[in-house]
Structure 1
Amino acid sequence: MTVTVGLSTASVYPESTAHAFGYAASLGYDAVEVMVGIDALSQQKSAVAQLAEHHGMPVRAVHAPCLLFTQRVWGTEPWGKLERSAEMAAELGAPTVVVHPPFRWQRDYAAGFVDGIAALEESTGIVFAVENMYPWRASSRRRVSKGMEMYVPGWDPSEESYAHTTLDLSHASIARSDVIAMADRMGRRLHHVHLTDGTDSAKDEHLVPGRGTTGAADLLAHLAAGGFGGDIVVEINTRRCTTRAERETDLRESLEFARAHFVVPAR
């Protein structure tokens, strides 16, 4: 069994979506996940399609604009954003839309979210893989707190009835979640993995996998042994890289980590 290792366009920020496709192609990634964000190019289906064709790099997922800083991308109506994400995915041939659970202040959206996601999957034929988030907690390590619940119906999609889910290791680190236990709770519903890392910080670190403490290598081995057939997407933070060579090194190391540790055991 082989698994597709993709690159999230968020991994090259502050460089652009176009740069992400270039990195993915030159480093040997299998695919790209497009984070629809403040980069205007990421919002344009035709421009992304041209990039995919130019680099020979398929798009395997579209990440809906549901982060705090993308609240006004594609308007402010959350269901409309998901519909547009599905339209982009369909046009690009991507089977998956990644979506976060609603913020607690999005009351109407949150009230019908679980059923609404199921209805969107039925009507569009696109997988909506709901991503694990985390309680918001203080950054000081000296404070012991479970954090504030900011997502409804909750930050842990393994506890809901979603047909498809995404497991993000950096988010799991903030939540102090055991990633293997969470993957097991998700079971066959686990469709998508954001491969990254964290160190129990209250910050969403998105480290190169292997540089944190979430057990990224063990998770990949566990998934490989269990027959995981979804997508693994590298989603790291390279904003501190001061040169293209540094960013390229982090992206290459992440790809090599994925391929080294997702190894299907011989039968």
Structure 2
Amino acid sequence: MVSLSTSSVYPDGTAAGFATAARLGYDGVEVMVGLDDVSADTTAVKALAKAHDIPVVSIHAPCLLVTQRVWGTDSWGKLHRSAEMALDVGADTVVVHPPFRWQREYAREFVEGIARLEDEYDVAFAVENMYPWRSGKREFQAYAPGWDPLPYDYENVTVDFSHAATARIDSLQLIEDLGDRLAHIHLTDGSGSMKDEHLIPGRGAQQCDRILGRLADLGFTGHVVVEVNTRKAADRDADLLEALAYARLHLAPTPV
């Protein structure tokens, strides 16, 4: 299955994300909570899934700087709400970013708190790889306990290829190192610049074709979600169709 993140149609909203995913033939949708009021409304999300006959496979918790006040200001409360939405709409995964360093109490308890949530809810809390923030030659560690999920005891991890490019690491090596902890993929690409680019897969330097091929050979059963930036696209549908075709081509198992 190849699903579409509603963030891929930004600045259009959640309703447009569902409509686009269904029209282009995607298999499911990841809801990025916080893009608009609809994204935080479980009843509205369920109605969109039913209207377009497309499942919600995952919920992206409101962890971005621009969504800091969605569902209140309590970080743990946001994750509880995300899990409740996931269960209500039939999704099995909640995507979570690590805390910002200035969220000191939240960050201090994050690894243990995620483990408790995994025990409490029948959904995977897949912590996403992030990256250092850079400005010229300066580097700032914005995330705590860290941007790299590998050293921490998370049961489930999301690997985002654009974030890996910005961190200047190899997504394939990260996947190999994570082993069975790899639960979720954000399919995108990046050139390795200081910016988190979220390019169409195949247009950057992460060699997404070999990564997807490796996932196919490993029998990966998690969700592959296209999460790309189309804000300046001349033809958004064409770009999202290209991403979908690319994913399906390279996720096909290697003939024996």
Identity of aligned residues (%): 55
Aligned length: 256
Aligned match of 2:182 in 171, 190, 197? 190
State yes or no: 1:262 paired with 2:251. yes
Q: Is the 8 A contact 1:8 1:234 kept in 2?
A: yes
Aligned match of 1:166 in 158, 179, 195? 158
| Correspondence list, 1:125-164, <5 A | 125-138=122-135, 140=136, 143=137, 147-164=139-156
CA RMSD of aligned residues (A): 1.0
Partner residue, 2:94: 97
Residues 126-180 of structure 1, C-alpha deviations (whole Å, 9 max, x = no match): 1100000000112x4xx4x5x2211111101122110000000000000001111
**1: distance between equivalents of 2:35 and 2:17?**
15
- The Cα of 1:35 is off from its aligned counterpart by 0.1
Partner SS, residue 158 of structure 1: coil
**1: distance between equivalents of 2:161 and 2:151?**
17
Q: Is the 8 A contact 2:7 2:35 kept in 1?
A: no
Aligned match of 1:249 in 235, 238, 245? 238
TM value normalised by structure 1: 0.94
**2: distance between equivalents of 1:37 and 1:64?**
8
- The Cα of 1:265 is off from its aligned counterpart by 2.1
- The Cα of 1:125 is off from its aligned counterpart by 1.3
Partner SS, residue 232 of structure 1: strand
Partner SS, residue 43 of structure 2: helix
Task: Give 4+ residue runs of structure 1 displaced > 6 Å after superposition.
Answer: none
**1: distance between equivalents of 2:216 and 2:46?**
31
State yes or no: 1:70 paired with 2:62. no
- The Cα of 1:263 is off from its aligned counterpart by 1.6
| Correspondence list, 1:188-227, <5 A | 188-227=180-219
Identify unmatched segments of 5+ residues in structure 1.
Answer: none
Partner SS, residue 24 of structure 1: helix
Q: Is the 8 A contact 1:165 1:192 kept in 2?
A: yes
State yes or no: 1:240 paired with 2:232. yes
**2: distance between equivalents of 1:181 and 1:66?**
26
Partner SS, residue 133 of structure 2: coil
Moved more, 153-162 or 58-67: 153-162
Q: Is the 8 A contact 1:38 1:73 kept in 2?
A: no
Q: Which amino acid letter does the alignment assign opposite residue 198 of structure 1?
A: G
Q: Is the 8 A contact 2:101 2:143 kept in 1?
A: yes
Identify unmatched segments of 5+ residues in structure 2.
Answer: none
TM value normalised by structure 2: 0.98
Residues 54-112 of structure 1, C-alpha deviations (whole Å, 9 max, x = no match): 10100000000000110111111100000000010000010000000010011100111
